[in-house]
C-alpha cells in the first residue's frame, strides 16, 4: 500500500490513479491527518503531493516528521519535494525563474528512480508548475536531474530511498511519468502489482458477506454504471437476499427502463422491483417550471416511492432489509484539504437524490467506496456487464425533467425522447460516443416558424449538447464537424413530429453548466 499525503494540489487524485494503474493500492490523506493515516495504513511507501502554497507562507503545511523516520521510501512531488528538502535540512528559495508548463530536464546522475527509463546526460520533456525551487540540498542528497530554471529539478538520497521531483510526473504531459512512478512503487518500494479488479472482486465479495451476514440488502438502481456494478457485486456475494428497486419516474430516455429491467431481472436474475411511478411524478411536476423546484419535487417523490417499495419488500415474510446499498465512489469519500480550518468534505448537494440513508435508518453497504470511476468500469467488465452499459454516459437523477426547460408535459417528453434517441444513434454510428463525456438533446419551450413541403410549420426548437470532461466539474463543448450536425439535424426534423429547428450548444463550463437547468 502507498499513502499519498495531499497538500492541496489540483492533481492529487491523478497521482492516486497512476499508482493504481501500476497495480498498487493507495489512499489519499490530507496533510492534517496524514500521521493518523500513516499509522492506520502502515504503507510501504509515501508520496507527498504538490500544493498551492509556498513553503515560506505563514502556516504553510508540513509533512509529519514520522514519515521520514519510518524507513519507508518517500517521493516528494513539487511542493512535496520542497517540503521534504526543507524538513530534512535543505533550503528552498522563491524561484527567480518561475516555470509553468512544458520544460526539459537533463539527467545528472544515475538513480533507481530513472532505471531503465532515463539515461545519463540525456534530456527529457516534463511538466513544471512552480514558483519556488530547492536551492540547497539536505545532507545525504544529490542532484539527479536539472532544468534551466530548477538546478535541483530532481534530487535523491538513494540510501534512505528519498526522492524529490520538481516536475509533475503524474500528468500526461510528462510522457515518462508513469514509468518513473512505476520504478518508485515497484523497484524502490518493492511493491507487487497485485491491485487488479479481479482481486478486488474477490475481496469485496468476502467483505460484503462479513458485513451483511445473513441479513438482506436493498439497492436502488438508477440505470447508471455505479449502482449497476454495486448491485451485481452484492448479488454475487449474497444472492437473492439482495432486492433492487428501480424507480421509473417517467423521465427516462427512450427504451431505458426496458434495458435496465431486462438486464437485471432477465439476464442476471436479480430480484428487481420496477416501481411504475410515472403518473405520480408527472402529476406533481405539471405546471412547474423552476429548475430547483423540479429537483425538490423529484427528490421528495423518489424517497417516498423508494420507501413505499421497501415497506412492501419488508412485508414479504423474509425479514426486513436492514442494509441499503449505495454506489459511493472514492472521490466522494476523500477528505479534501482545507486551508481555512479543519478538513472539510465537498458535497455536490444537487447531484444526489439526498436524504435516503438518513430517513430510512438503515446500515449502508458501499462496496465501491475505494474505487475511482475508471476502476468501477473495469470492475463492471470483470463482472460481465455489457460493454455498452459499462461505457454509458452519466445521466442526472432528475432525468429529462431538467432537459425540458419550462413546464413538462407527456407530449414534450415524448418529442424529447425521440430527438435524443436519434442524436445518440448518430453519435454512435459516427463512432464518437466514447470520445464524449455526455451528449443529449434539450427541448426548448420556444416555437419557431418553418416550412415543410408546401406548408407552414410552427414547432419546437431542439438544442443538442455534447461535452468533453474529466469529472463533470469543468467541460468543453464537443467539436463536431458540420456535416455530422447537419445529418443529426435533418434526421431529427424529418423523423420527430413537433420539432422544426435544431441548434447546437457551443458553451463550455464555466461559464455554462452541462445541463441547461
Residues belonging to the active site: 78, 168, 170
Using a 10 angstrom Cβ sphere, with 0-12 exposed, 13-18 middle and 19 or more buried, the burial of residue 283 is: exposed
Q: Grid coordinates representing 257?
A: 427502463
Q: Grid coordinates representing 117?
A: 527509463
Minimum CB distance to ligand XMP, residue 267 (Å): 25
Q: Is 513 in the site for ligand XMP (CB under 6 A)?
A: yes
> Which one among 215, 331, 343, 394 touches ligand XMP, defined by CB under 6 A?
394
Nearer to ligand XMP, 184 or 246 (CB): 246
Nearer to ligand XMP, 251 or 514 (CB): 514
Minimum CB distance to ligand XMP, residue 398 (Å): 5
Using a 10 angstrom Cβ sphere, with 0-12 exposed, 13-18 middle and 19 or more buried, the burial of residue 482 is: exposed
Among positions 193-252, residues that touch ligand XMP (CB under 6 A) are: none
Half-sphere exposure of 12 toward its Cβ, with a 13 Å CA cutoff?
Answer: 29
Minimum CB distance to ligand XMP, residue 424 (Å): 14
Minimum CB distance to ligand XMP, residue 446 (Å): 20
Residues 1, 338, 472, 299, Cα dihedral to 10°: 110
Candidate segments 201-209, 266-274, 396-404, 419-427, binder of ligand XMP by CB under 6 A: 396-404
Q: Is 147 in the site for ligand XMP (CB under 6 A)?
A: no
Minimum CB distance to ligand XMP, residue 179 (Å): 33
Among positions 446-505, residues that touch ligand XMP (CB under 6 A) are: 472
> Which one among 156, 398, 463, 499 touches ligand XMP, defined by CB under 6 A?
398
Query: Does 225 appear as a known binding residue?
Result: yes
Q: How many degrees, rounded to 5, is the angle at CA 143 between CA 140 and CA 147?
A: 155
Q: Is 296 in the site for ligand XMP (CB under 6 A)?
A: no
Q: How many residues bind ligand XMP (CB under 6 A)?
A: 13
Q: Is 509 in the site for ligand XMP (CB under 6 A)?
A: yes
Nearer to ligand XMP, 343 or 472 (CB): 472
Which H or E run contains 209?
Answer: helix 197-212
Query: Does 304 appear as a known binding residue?
Result: no
DSSP 263: I
CA–CA gap between residue 244 and residue 197 (Å, rounded): 23
Candidate segments 17-25, 39-47, 366-374, 391-399, binder of ligand XMP by CB under 6 A: 391-399
Q: Is 158 in the site for ligand XMP (CB under 6 A)?
A: no
Q: How many other C-beta atoms are found inside a 10 Å radius of the C-beta of residue 107?
A: 19
In the sheet that holds 154-157, the strands lie side by side as 26-30, 2-6, 45-48, 74-77, 162-165, 154-157, 142-147, 91-107, 123-136
Q: Grid coordinates representing 459?
A: 414547432
Residue 315: helix, strand or coil by DSSP?
Answer: coil
Candidate segments 45-53, 368-376, 395-403, 487-495, binder of ligand XMP by CB under 6 A: 395-403
Is-contact 484 430, C-beta < 8 A? Answer: yes
Closest alpha carbon to 91 in 55, 50, 51: 55
Contact set with ligand XMP (CB under 6 A): 295, 350-351, 394, 396-398, 438, 472, 509, 513-515
Amino acid at each position: 500500500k502507498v499513502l499519498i499525503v495531499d497538500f492541496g494540489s489540483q492533481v492529487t487524485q491523478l497521482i492516486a490513479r497512476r499508482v493504481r494503474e501500476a497495480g498498487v493500492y493507495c489512499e489519499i490523506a490530507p496533510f492534517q491527518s496524514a500521521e493518523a493515516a500513516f499509522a492506520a495504513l502502515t504503507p510501504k511507501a509515501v508520496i507527498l503531493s504538490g500544493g498551492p502554497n509556498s513553503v515560506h507562507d505563514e502556516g504553510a503545511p508540513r509533512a509529519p516528521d514520522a514519515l521520514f523516520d519510518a524507513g519507508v521510501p518517500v517521493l516528494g512531488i513539487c511542493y512535496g519535494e520542497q517540503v521534504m528538502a526543507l524538513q530534512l535540512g535543505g533550503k528552498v528559495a522563491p524561484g527567480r525563474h518561475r516555470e509553468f508548463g512544458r520544460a526539459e530536464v537533463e539527467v545528472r546522475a544515475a538513480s533507481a528512480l530513472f532505471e531503465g527509463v532515463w539515461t545519463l546526460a540525456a534530456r527529457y520533456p516534463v511538466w513544471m508548475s512552480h514558483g519556488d525551487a530547492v536551492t540547497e540540498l539536505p545532507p545525504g542528497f544529490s542532484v539527479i536531474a536539472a532544468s534551466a530554471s530548477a538546478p535541483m529539478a530532481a534530487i535523491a538520497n538513494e540510501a534512505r530511498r528519498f526522492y524529490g521531483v520538481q516536475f509533475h510526473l503524474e500528468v500526461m504531459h510528462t510522457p515518462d511519468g508513469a514509468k518513473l512512478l512505476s520504478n518508485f512503487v515497484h523497484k524502490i518500494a518493492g511493491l507487487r502489482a497485485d491491485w487488479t479488479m479481479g482481486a478486488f472482486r474477490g475481496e469485496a465479495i468476502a467483505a460484503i458477506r462479513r458485513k451483511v451476514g445473513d441479513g438482506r440488502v436493498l439497492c436502488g438502481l438508477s440505470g447508471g454504471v455505479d449502482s449497476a456494478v454495486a448491485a451485481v457485486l452484492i448479488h454475487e456475494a449474497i444472492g437473492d437476499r439482495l432486492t433492487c428497486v428501480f424507480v421509473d419516474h417517467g423521465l427516462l430516455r427512450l427504451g431505458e427502463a426496458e434495458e435496465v429491467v431486462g438486464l437485471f431481472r432477465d439476464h442476471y436474475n436479480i430480484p428487481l422491483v420496477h416501481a411504475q411511478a410515472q403518473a405520480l411524478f408527472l402529476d406533481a411536476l405539471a405546471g412547474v417550471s423552476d429548475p430547483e423546484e423540479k429537483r425538490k419535487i423529484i427528490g421528495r417523490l423518489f424517497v417516498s416511492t423508494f420507501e413505499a417499495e421497501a415497506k412492501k419488500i419488508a412485508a414479504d415474510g423474509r425479514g426486513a432489509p436492514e442494509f441499503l446499498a449505495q454506489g459511493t465512489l472514492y472521490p466522494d469519500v476523500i477528505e479534501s484539504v482545507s486551508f481555512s480550518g479543519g478538513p472539510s468534505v465537498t458535497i455536490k448537494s444537487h447531484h444526489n437524490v439526498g436524504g435516503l440513508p438518513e430517513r430510512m435508518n438503515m446500515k449502508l453497504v458501499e462496496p465501491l467506496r475505494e474505487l475511482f470511476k475508471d476502476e468501477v468500469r473495469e470492475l463492471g467488465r470483470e463482472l460481465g456487464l455489457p460493454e455498452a452499459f459499462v461505457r454509458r454516459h452519466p445521466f442526472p437523477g432528475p432525468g429529462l425533467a431538467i432537459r425540458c426547460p419550462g413546464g413538462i408535459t407527456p407530449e414534450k417528453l415524448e418529442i424529447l425522447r425521440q430527438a435524443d434517441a436519434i442524436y445518440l444513434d448518430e453519435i454512435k454510428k459516427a463512432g464518437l460516443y466514447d470520445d464524449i463525456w455526455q451528449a443529449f438533446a434539450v427541448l426548448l419551450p420556444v416555437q419557431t416558424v418553418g416550412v415543410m413541403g408546401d406548408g407552414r410549420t410552427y414547432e419546437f426548437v431542439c438544442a443538442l449538447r455534447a461535452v468533453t470532461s474529466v469529472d463533470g466539474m469543468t467541460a468543453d463543448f464537443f467539436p463536431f464537424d458540420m456535416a455530422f450536425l447537419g445529418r443529426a439535424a435533418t434526421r431529427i426534423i424529418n423523423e420527430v413530429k413537433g420539432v422544426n429547428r435544431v441548434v447546437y450548444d457551443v458553451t463550455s463550463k464555466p461559464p455554462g453548466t452541462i445541463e441547461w437547468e
